[in-house]
């Protein structure tokens, strides 16, 4: 005699899927508690945190296939958490550019850019009032200076970062973010520091008042199977940059640059506690900027204090591996 077993009910099917859904939701909700002791795992998770939402439709497909009520119910947790973290980015918070007092653009132009002249012309045509460039090589510097001179009568280049402006600049100086020489910073002569300088601070004088502008290119972040998510140089630079901004006396501050990390990463707490992202405040979507061919993260940022972000967006690709990012701000 053959006995036919009863199939488990919908609340008893798909318990593994339900557990995975709950784990996904808790992982996103408690991302700040994931430790960095092993391979900088916490920072890595926070860097790609929005993409954890892709697991939701995968689990949903499994729940529908198993006809599991428990898995469907459990999926409400990661959906709610993801919407809590990133739902605000799905709406368009930008205002027309004409409502802005100043247009800012930042672009990592790429050290091995095959056509810096074309890149400079594209950026000059963007309409930016203030233009920050990162990864300027000694060979490309005169090309950028020549092509941008007509539109931007004021500029400064400090090491590998520069700022071009339609408005006067003053009180310009390099900012030591401990790049490439780390614990030996105090022993390096000034000319060596300048060679490796990747941050500057200047003042832009506008009709509405003085604006302190920082341009920075923090160290690289790399994923290595042996060491995990390596960010030592970047994190040192982020802390040093945060200290410089904390000491800034001007109430109106802008930071433009390639920060080699997303603002969800705890490594930028010293910066995000004092400045806010224009993309979060006035953007449309996530504003991913790298890599240019298929952007998956926003590591190029415009952050502000004391001014009102009106709009934030990405510009068309140049010959760089980064997209230029732009923002309109108002007093």
Quickly list DSSP for 54-117. Answer: GHHHHHHHHHHHHT-HHHHHHTHHHHHHHHHHHGGGGSB----GGG-SEEEEEEE--TT-S-HH
User: In the block, which residue shows the tokens 């760089």?
Assistant: 320
The number of residues making up the chain comes to: 331
The structural domains of the chain, with segments of one domain joined by +, span: 15-90, 97-330
Nearest to 218 by CA among 252, 266, 268: 268
> What mean pLDDT is reported for the chain?
92
* Residue 196: per-residue pLDDT: 72
Report the C-alpha gap between 197 and 99 in whole angstroms.
35
Does the domain at residues 97-330 carry the CATH identifier 3.40.50.200?
no
pLDDT in tens, 107-134: 999 999 999 999 999 999 999 999 999 9
Distance, CA of 44 to CA of 265 (rounded, Å): 8
Pairing of strands 228-230, 222-224: antiparallel
Q: Which of 237 and 13 is assigned the larger pLDDT?
A: 237
pLDDT the model gives residue 185? 44
| Other Cβ atoms within 10 Å of 42 Cβ, number | 20
Tokens of 211: 């604006």
* pLDDT for residue 96: 65
pLDDT one-digit tens code per residue, 178-234: 754 444 344 444 444 445 789 999 999 999 999 999 999 999 999 887 778 999 999
Q: What is the mean pLDDT of residues 144-163?
A: 98
Mean pLDDT of 139-163: 98
Give the integer Cα–Cα distance in Å for 61 and 65: 6
pLDDT at 225 (0 to 100):
79
pLDDT of residue 191: 40
The structure tokens listed for 243 are: 């200290």
Tens of pLDDT, residues 136-147: 999 999 999 999
Cα R_g (the chain), whole angstroms: 23
The pLDDT score that the predictor gives to residue 5 is: 54
Does residue 281 register a pLDDT over 60? yes
* Beta bridge partner(s), residue 228: 224
**Cα separation of 25 and 19, whole Å?**
10
In the chain, % of residues over pLDDT 90: 84
Strands (E), the chain: 102-108, 130-134, 154-158, 161-165, 169-174, 199-206, 209-217, 222-224, 228-230, 253-258, 276-277, 300-305, 308-314, 325-330
Instruction: Please check the confidence at residue 81 and state whether its pLDDT lies above 70.
Output: yes
Residue 312 pLDDT: 96
* Residue 190, pLDDT score: 45
User: Is the distance from CB of 182 to CB of 189 less than 8 angstroms?
Assistant: no
Q: Cα 149–151–153 angle (5° rounding)?
A: 55
The answer to whether the beta carbons of residues 97 and 105 sit under 8 Å apart is no
Residue with tokens 């600049």: 169
Distance CA 72, CA 10 (A): 10
243 within 8 A of 200, measured Cβ to Cβ: no
Q: Global pTM?
A: 0.90
Q: Name the strands in the sheet holding 199-206, side by side, starting at the edge strand that comes first in the sequence.
A: 169-174, 199-206, 209-217, 253-258, 300-305, 276-277
Contacts with 284 (C-beta within 8 Å, 6 or more apart), sequence order: 91, 92, 93, 94, 312, 313
């Amino acid at each position: 005699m053959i006995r036919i077993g009863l199939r488990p009910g919908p609340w008893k099917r798909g318990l593994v899927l339900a557990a995975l859904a709950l784990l996904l939701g808790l992982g996103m909700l408690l991302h700040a508690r994931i430790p960095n002791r092993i391979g900088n795992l916490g920072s890595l998770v926070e860097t790609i945190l929005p993409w954890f939402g892709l697991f939701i439709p995968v689990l949903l497909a499994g729940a529908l296939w198993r006809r599991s009520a428990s898995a469907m119910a459990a999926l409400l947790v990661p959906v709610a958490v993801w919407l809590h973290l990133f739902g605000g980015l799905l709406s368009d918070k930008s205002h027309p550019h004409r409502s802005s007092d100043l247009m800012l653009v930042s672009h990592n132009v790429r050290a091995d850019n095959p056509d810096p002249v074309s890149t400079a012309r594209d950026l000059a045509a963007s309409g930016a009032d203030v233009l920050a460039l990162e990864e300027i090589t000694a060979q490309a510097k005169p090309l950028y200076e020549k092509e941008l001179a007509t539109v931007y009568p004021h500029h400064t280049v400090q090491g590998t970062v520069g700022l071009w402006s339609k408005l006067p600049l003053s009180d310009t100086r390099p900012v030591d973010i401990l790049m490439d020489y780390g614990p030996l910073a105090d022993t390096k002569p000034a000319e060596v520091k300048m060679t490796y300088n990747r941050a500057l601070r200047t003042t832009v004088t506008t009709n509405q008042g003085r604006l302190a502008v920082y341009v920075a290119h923090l160290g690289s972040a790399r994923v290595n199977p042996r060491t995990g998510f390596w960010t030592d140089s970047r994190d040192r630079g982020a802390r040093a940059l945060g200290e410089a901004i904390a000491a800034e006396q001007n109430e109106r501050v802008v930071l433009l640059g390639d920060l080699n990390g997303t603002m969800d990463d705890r490594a930028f707490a010293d910066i995000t506690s004092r400045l806010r992202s224009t993309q979060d405040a006035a953007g449309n979507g996530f504003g991913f900027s790298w890599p240019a061919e298929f952007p998956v993260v926003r590591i190029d940022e415009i952050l502000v204090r004391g001014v009102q972000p009106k709009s934030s967006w990405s510009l068309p690709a140049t010959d760089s591996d980064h997209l230029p990012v732009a923002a309109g701000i108002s007093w």
